[in-house]
Structure 1
Amino acid sequence: MSSTPFDGVRAIRPVTALTDVPNRVSYDLPVHLRGWTLPPEWAWGSEGVSMDHRHYQEVRDALGRSLSLVSAPDPDHVEWLAEEARQLAHRNHPAIPTTYHYWAPHAQNARGPGYLRRWISSETVGARVRRTGPEEIPAVMRMIRAVGSTLAYLHDSGQTHGGLSPEIVWAAPSGRFWLLGWQWALPREAVPDGLLPDRRWTPMPPEWGDDDWSPTLVSDQWQLAATCYAALTGELPNSLEVPPVRLLRPECPQALANILDHALAADPAGRHRSVSSMLRALERVSGSRSMFVSAPAIPSALNEEGRLRWAVGDDYEVLGFLGKGTFGSVWRVRDLSLEREVALKMLHPSVAEDEDAVTRFRREARLAAMLAHPAIIPIFDWDSRGEVSWYTMELAEGGSVADLVARAGARPFDEVAPQVDAILDALTAAHTNGIVHRDLKPENVLIDRYRRWRITDFGIARGPDEQAGTTGTPAFAAPEQLLGEAQGPAVDCFGTAAIIYFVLTGRPPFDADDAASLLAQQLGARFDQSIVAPPLLPFIRRGLSPEPEGRFGDAGVMQEAWRAASKEMARDARRSDSWWGRVLG
């Protein structure tokens, strides 16, 4: 275990071995599920996660949606799992994943027990802190509200959670938080004797002894504060003596630090009266629900947020800041009339003063709306008020392909293959309508709640009657884009091939400090071919050809080639798995 910056404080431990990971990701079906038979047209997904007496396995239903199958590896835990599913079926809160169905054990069906809930495309707060460092203060504010309101919801019915930690709070790239660990949020008699949350990862309040686990309303409050403390500082607090938050995170607002320090009092009687009163205290000092929504790294974000609230306040509630680009910022908002969360893209105030920019912005929304396709993010509405222009679109809760690779690394081919096929199908629809995207990159391929890849950001897309210019993001732009030459569907084929290379290897095919060096690499087709699977290499070479004539003519041709390459990859995998393939290989 690594040393901690404060003596006596236990760190959110760095991962040093597979067995030392609180949530273990695997790409092989676990032993206890190998005898199962899924319903017709269902399939096992590529990923599973094991944690604290539960396994979450991705499954794809007949509609192609990714769901999470929650099961118990220990056959003695059947009743425990069933009670968990029964309780969840009657719980309704935005931070609790919806439970769809319970499969009871049944010999004729050869499946069960297990229950199905929505798949969460994200990572735990603990994993994100280990990967990127302590959370930004606005994110912690959102987490307190999301998880705290969930606990208040439980407490209103006399129930507790008892297992709250940074390893069971999941953070989506969209800014949404989910609370798991529901095997512990049950009546004590429903949990098998002798079992309790793993003390290596779970902050234990001081009123519990070494072998005690007695969840109460105030112990839940302490665990919530301890989880937020860990997110802010990178340290799980010691239950006996907790250093003040601002000692480890000096820039934490004093009012927020006071609320957390109060909740972390060693004496339960010294804490907030309830989690609800803790949340009310937070609202009083923050002044509004979103005082810290904007990321500190964006100097103009508060100004933009104020403009946005003024413009859309009658129709949308602003929930969070998602990101920014050269021309606009993206926000998570709630549509007040339809009661759904959507993404809202707004032009930067300085850009909105340019009438031509507003026209191009409206055109972006129009082009995307023209292309109704399952693999293209749909546009819902476009509007403006004063100098504020925006449009709303579907919220992709899984973030982008860039986010996926950043948090999980290179992806296996079996996971990527159907997603690329869908993206190429969407581009075929665009090319058929004479529309070229021209800015395909991992950040512009989003992932929805069912793990489907979907194209967004047609901001520099070119219609059939428009002229070309210097466009695109250099690392994923074709040479003719960097040179400002004529651009057709082949530039999208280049961008798609570069994305495929990036997702399968974890790095872009071309990388340099300046545009001239990058262009030289592209024109010389100088990329590392040794890390590409041999059956796929001809496809990648053709897709990244420096000359447009050497690439695929359009996305339809590229899709046919991708399907052929996928079949060759499957044949190669079968040969490798055969006994003679292993002998000869």
Structure 2
Amino acid sequence: MIADTPPVDVLAAVTPALEPAFRLDQLVALSPERALYKAWDRALKRFVALRLHLVAGSPGREWFLRETETLAALDHPAVRHVYALGEAAGFAYRTANWIDGESLAEAIRRGVRPIPSVMSIVRDLLGALEHAHAHGIIMRRIAPTTLMLDLAGRAIITDLRYSNWCLAHAPADFGPGAAFGAPEVRGGGAGDPAADVYTVGALVYFALTAQEPAADPEAIVPPRRLRGTIPAAVERVILRALRAAPGDRYFTATEMLEGSVADAGTFRAPTAEPQHGESGFERRLRRALGDDYELLEEIGAGGFGRVYRARDLGLERDVAIKVLHPSLTADLGVVERFQREAQLAARLRHPNIVSIYDIGGRAGLQWYTMEMVPGASLAQLTATHGALPVDRVVRMLDEALSALEQAHALGLVHRDLKPENLLLEPDGRVRITDFGLALALRGDGRYGGATSRSGTPQFASPEQLLGEKVTPRTDLYSLGAVGYFALLGRPPFEGPTVEAILAKQTTDAVPDLHAERPAVERELEVVLRRAVASRPEERFPTAAAFRSALRDATGGWWRRLWKLLRPD
């Protein structure tokens, strides 16, 4: 940052002039008339930024003093604080808070900024502008070289030399950094709050793309063309702030702040139609999620809440966000169980289990983020295509049992295996989702929510429907019922009420698979019948035993040979 230098004798006189009050530790920046030191204030015993004006009697001296008055008029965490103004041996100086960090320009040399951190910068800047405008100060231009980012990533404005309070002393031309001033102030115009909206838009554009916006607003390249992961809602905010006509921008910093929150709070494009219902929940969720995620689309809903496809803006990848319904989070017991079960489920690492990435809660909402799985659920596939091929069902069951082996070994029972919770990728691989959610929503070990929340008692074991203790064999029952569903296109036990379903379960009135679908071998049917036995002790003892029996019934070498040799 050290540019053209003043005469050596001038600098040589600085230290003795200021040494009684300050220890000058580091020369940070230097120009023909100004110098910036990191200094130690001996009286206050703290580091300060010591800015000097070196040339007495020059026009720049009055400019320096007026800028100092402007900075001192503001008291905001995103504006550098002035502590004192003084003169010594012909030098004018001011002290201000020392900022450990780097300028935005320095940070961008390493690459574009993460999207969440840029949104934090937006809030810092707009908050500072609201404060400045309330004091009659228009900043007019904020350059990346003078916008500091502290070690926590907070933005701090350090230079107000081109503000409207300094117009009588500042040159009309901004020089370097002109792209960060609105067109109407580049030639010396005083500007208004909309001009500062433009400079924030330009800074955000630069932080997200590492490129200055074109000087002509009409020639500005939309930022998503330069960085495709920028949320569309953020791009809309930037481009509105950078419009050529002041009246077409946000009118004030407050309006831009409110607009950015509201626009980024919904994944739907703004329309002239008033928005109702669903968008209100989405806006609330987006505000709760902060700058970490961009909602893209709703992909599922149920009594538990909703599932969204979202963009993780920090890691720049798509994720699924499952949000509990606010009526459920009103119960602190549900929230505690939900958090505890999500923590346990997050320990699972298996190729056939959907990974949980994070759990969060804010503003009365609770959610967790998980891996975004391409493909469709078993329920969706059967609704579209009907019953699945036998070999595909066998593979699905085999992979699901492998996943249950690991989960049960960790003491985790799913409790709610059903077609909606088995996702099938395009290559056929199955992924189990929602581990632990059932217990969180239905505390006390009861399955009382089967009718009121999940709506799928057809896949619950008899002991669940009766409110008895669940064990790993409970999951094996549910998976067996899912196998019937995949092969027949319907659950093995159906009825208009839970009681009717339970009556069929307890009499073991299982459909004749082979009779309804001859492609299902008797050996496979025997395995599935055992899996859905009404008494837990009659089922397979473990997922490994179920899987072994499944493989013996469908995958033994002698059986494959027999299928090849038998006559048609």
| TM bracket (short chain) | 0.3 to 0.5
Pick the structure with greater CA Rg.
2
